[in-house]
Structures are given as C-alpha cells and as structure tokens.
Amino acid sequence: MIEILGQKKGSSGLKKAVLGFGLGTAFAAALIIGSSVPGNAQVFKVSPAPLEPSPGTYKPGTLAGNIEAGKGVYFRKCVWCHGPDGAGDGPSAIRLITKPRNFNQGTFKIRHTGSGELPTDEDLFNSVTHGLSGSVMPPWGSILSEQERKDVVSFIKKELVKDREFDDPDEEITVISYGTQIPSSPESIEQGRDIFMNKAKCVECHGVEGRGDGNLTQRDDWAFPIFPANLQKPWNLRGNRRDPYNPRNIFREISTGLNGTPMPSFAEELSEEERWHVANFVISLTDIKRPLDPETGKPAIGFVIKSRFVEEGAVPDTPTDEKWLAVPPQFVGMASQIIQPPRHFIRTVDDIRVRSLYNDKEVALLFQWDDRTESHRNESAEAKYDYKRLSSVAFPAINTTQYTHENDKARGPLKNVNPEPVGVYNSARQRD
C-alpha cells in the first residue's frame, strides 16, 4: 500500500517507476512483503537490563537447576537445532546461518568472561532468556518459566559440554569490568573512529563503513563460513540482549571477543577508555535510531509506504538524486524464499529501505539494501530473467548461494541445499 502525501488535485494517469539501489551493488527490482506494526510504537529497548555478573576472578558457578527436568525442556524445545547430543547438528541445522551452537567443546560466544574462558551462569541464562539477535535463537523468556530456563542451562552445562567441566577445580573465569562509561560525544566518536581504522584495525574485517564487508573469506572454529558483523545493524548483533543501541554491548564484545570466531579480545591491546570510544563510534554508524518491534527486537516494519509529491520537475530516475532526501525511508523486513523451488532458506539481505516520490505523471520507488557481497549487474549485457527461479528475480543469485551454501563435502554439511548460481541479473526498471 502507498500512502500519498501532499497529493496534487487533479492528478491522474500515474505510472510506476521502480529503482533498486544496493549499497555497493547495482540496480534491481524487488518484490517486498511486510507485516503491519503500529506506527506510533516508539520502543528502543525490548527487554529489561540482563543479569550481569560481578567483575572479578572466580570459579564457574553452579546454577540451581534440575538436570533431569532440564533434559525434558531441551528435548522439547532445543534438540531441533542443537541436536540430541548438543553437537549443533539437529535436523534444522543444515538450513540455518549462523549455525546452532555446538555445546560439546564448551565454546560460547556471548560472555562477560575472558577470551577462551567458560561463560558465567548469568551469561547462559541471558542467552536462553533473551535469545541471540540476528540468528534463529529466539528469546525463551516469555515461553519457558524462570525455573525451566535454569533447568535447561544446568542440563547443557553438565551433560552436553563434554570437553570441559564447569566444576573442574582448574577452571577459572575472569569477569570483565565496565569501569566508568564514557558518554558518547563527537570527540569520543572521532577518537573511536581513529582506533577502529588504525590501532585496532577493525576496518580489515568490518570494512570502512562497518558493513561487515572487509573480509568475506573467514570461517569459524567448525569450518563454517562466517561474515564479520554488520555494525550498521546493531539489532542483528548476537549479544545485544534486545537492547541494540546500548554501547555497553559493544564494549563487552570488544573486551571478551567472541569465542569460536575470528573476533578476538582487545582487552590487552586497548585501554578501558579506548574501548568505550570504539563502542561509541560503532553505535554512531547506525544512520537512524529506529523504533523496535517488541516481538522481534528489530526495527518496526510499516505496511504503508509513504509517497511525497514533487512540486517541480520530474521524479528522480537515479538513486543519487537529492530529491529522495525529502522523504524518510520506510524499513521493510525480508524473509527467506521457502515457497517456490529451488528454495533459498538462507539470505544475506534481510531488510530493504523504501522511499517514494510522485508527480502528476509518475510514481517513483527507491529500494535500498545492504549487500555486503557486492554482487554487481553486468552493465554491458542484457538483463536475463528466469521465472523458475523466483528468488533470483528479487536479487542476484550470489546473495543466497555462493557465500552461504557449501557444496564442498570437506567444509561442512551444506552440500546440495541449493543449485549453483546461474548468474541471473535484474533490470533497473520494472517489467510490465
């Protein structure tokens, strides 16, 4: 649905012009389906502050949970992704990115503890309660009781973590200290930018604009492909605890690193003050602080696309025209294409920003998306369409296959999930 803003009387015979603009990509037409969310919802934090362990060095805790009861919860709710033995190989795992956690090695990403260390009980309880944003791990806080969450954490610690023991007398954890938080300011952001680009060299993985496009060849400890985080979308960062605009989340992950991934700890390389400056810079990369959908923890999706009247001249026909700035973008979420074969369960483009302008002759729509794989249309070749591959009509096939599906038996169990990319590209103008 398009809502017309500032409609001129007597307007008739409007034609539609659709432009696509991928950040770092070419033009493409796109089919969008969005759900309706109340437009007056101004929620910027979904969950209350999570439990935070006290700073210091001590032994891993022992949560007061019933292991046998936790086993029941696990096999009702968790086994489908994490597998019967906790190896991250449940029946759903082949379709998922990021992969479900393999508990066996005791390697956990989101923690308050030092690099390579086991998590605290609070860390595990928070992950179950609040979920892991940007992945399929949902928040179980409204589904499982507090005791059920404690029970399942106890079961995981005791029965599914096999290579380490939480009650081993030689195990020791050091919980980070946040110290004194430095408020965000232009000076702090600039200092953080300099550290990001130079001293810490975050740019090498996360890219100049923080879009996670610096190094697309990385793998995790289990040899699965893994992208650096897109820092412009804090709601997708795994450990944001449904509080995406809080720089404490960034400070924590800079300090602890993400076990099992190429993301290291910078606790020794950067001072406490420097880590706060980087955290403030990273949060500043988000262009608009968007209200959140309380159900998903992501920016609220609007069903109505607002269109503004162009008083003078033609509607824009390029994505760089300054006329587009007259109307703010509408955030629309993208789901995987799982209806029409060949199904694409995994996608790297998860949202589109839509703008619309019109005059008495045309309505123009601008679609913007963030494509870190930078799949470019061949400008010298005629656009080719294959309507048997409907998901390719939306985006070049590279977005959903080449970088996210593994047909190599030696590198992961994703062989033959999708056929190889066929180089389907899209025209800049919508077909009739």
Name the residue ranges covered by the structural domains of the chain. Answer: 1-36+301-432, 56-174, 186-284
Q: What would the mean pLDDT of 69-93 be, rounded to a whole number?
A: 95
> What rounded mean pLDDT belongs to the chain?
80
Side-chain-side CA neighbours of residue 308 (13 Å): 15
Q: What is the pLDDT of residue 225?
A: 84
Q: How confident is the model at residue 428 (pLDDT cuts 50, 70, 90)?
A: very low
| Angle, CA of 296, 374 and 366, to the nearest 5° | 65
Quote the CATH superfamily of domain 186-284. Answer: Cytochrome c-like domain (1.10.760.10)
Q: What would the mean pLDDT of 188-217 be, rounded to a whole number?
A: 95
% of the chain at pLDDT higher than 70: 74
Q: How confident is the model at residue 379 (pLDDT cuts 50, 70, 90)?
A: low
In order of 44, 134, 137, 239, 365, the CA distances from 278 in angstroms are 21, 21, 27, 17, 36
Residues 56-174, CATH architecture: Orthogonal Bundle (1.10)
Q: Which residue has the higher pLDDT, 119 or 301?
A: 119
Weakest mean pLDDT among 267-276, 316-325, 342-351 = 342-351
On the question of pLDDT at 414 being above 70, the answer is no
Q: Which residue has the higher pLDDT, 367 or 377?
A: 367
The answer to whether the 56-174 and 186-284 domains have the same CATH topology is yes
Q: Which residue has the higher pLDDT, 332 or 198?
A: 198
Q: What is the pTM of this model?
A: 0.80
**Cβ contact 28:20 at 8 Å:** yes
Distance of CA 187 to the CA centre of its chain: 28
> What distance in Å separates the CA atoms of residue 42 and residue 164, rounded to the nearest whole number?
44
Weakest mean pLDDT among 153-157, 191-195, 220-224, 282-286 = 220-224
Q: How confident is the model at residue 391 (pLDDT cuts 50, 70, 90)?
A: very low
On the question of pLDDT at 37 being above 50, the answer is no
Crossing angle for the helix pair 121-130 and 146-155, nearest 10 degrees? 120
